[in-house]
Structure 1
Amino acid sequence: MATWKDVEDAEPEFAARVRKIFDAGENKIIATLRADGSPRVSGIEAQFRDGEVTFGSMPGSRKGADLRRDPRFALHAPSPDPPQDKTTWAGDAKLSGRAVPVGALTEGPEGEHFRAEIDEVVVTRLNDSATMLVIESWRPGGGLRRVERA
């Protein structure tokens, strides 16, 4: 597992693009696992701060209960529609890993604070001529991988 700082140190240009996509809007989507193993998708706010990705959950929330029981999650950036000129689309970003509880939220409403241990970061976008799908993925110890699909 890695921190966001590990991603920034290993692949600064890739990390900057991921961060730009995540920063395009306040509301992100998190997927957690219910007790029966099925997915739960919820809206969430997440922050990139001091080399960490952090997020919170309200007291008694199902997402917090999910993360305490099984810390695996996937976090998806805001996903606006691609512009008419698809060559200018920054793409779609997501990261996955495990949520580590770090205590009570210290700002805003009451709740729990989590930090992300990152297992994978992915950007899906179009190539410069908007003729192929480009999937870039980073994993700790595996580096950055790029695949193009027609």
Structure 2
Amino acid sequence: MNWAAFSTAAPDLARIAEERFGSYRHHVLATLRGDGSPRTSGLEVRFTRGELWLGMMQGSLKALDLLRDPRFALQANPGDADLGSGDIRVGGRAFEIGDDQAKAAYVEEVEPPQPFHLFRTELTEVVRTYVEDEKYLVVQVWKPGEPVRTIKRA
């Protein structure tokens, strides 16, 4: 499921997630190395044309990880100590774009350094964690085909 479908299924959570990612330029991407161990890397993300895009330098280790195993986790930059709208994490699979038209449209809009890898994402979950009333830890979880589930703990 792409970002547009998620936005239709859970519009409030999608809006908050986009705002959180939009608050900072760099975020943290987790990929899997060849031996299965995790790798974390800094990354810029873009929401455009109904997709969450991951762009990265040609031949970067995180790109090579995704080419080998498309599973990823992406965490919005936590910024300062006050998370405000909360912590946002996105899980899914990323697939490199081979379509020259799609990549050209992205280049026209974003103007990334060349050459680069461009990955389209398919979401498997979006999670928001925040504190409510300085008393409750609230976790919202969305998965394709399911409504947003909210868990609140004191």
**TM-score normalized with structure 1 length:** 0.91
1:114 aligns with 2:119: yes
Could you say which residue in structure 1 is the equivalent of 2:152? 148
CA distance in 2, matches of 1:8, 1:93: 15
Q: How many residues align?
A: 144
**TM-aligned CA deviation for residue 73 of structure 1:** 0.2
Give the CA deviation at 1:82.
3.4
Identity of aligned residues (%): 41
Secondary structure of 1:17's counterpart equals helix
Deviation, 1:13, is 1.2
Aligned mates of 2:48, 2:134 — CA distance in 1: 33
Alignment of 1:1-150 (within 5 A): 2-83=1-82, 89-103=84-98, 106=107, 107-109=111-113, 110-127=115-132, 129-150=133-154
Alpha-carbon deviations, 1:122-144, whole Å to 9, x = none? 100011x1201000010001120
Ranges of 4+ aligned residues in structure 1 off by more than 4 Å: none
Unaligned runs of 5+ in 1: none
Counterpart Cα distance in 2 of 1:108 and 1:99: 18
Equivalent AA in structure 1 for residue 88 of structure 2: A
CA distance in 1, matches of 2:68, 2:129: 30
Greater helix content = 2
Q: TM-score, structure 2 length as denominator?
A: 0.89
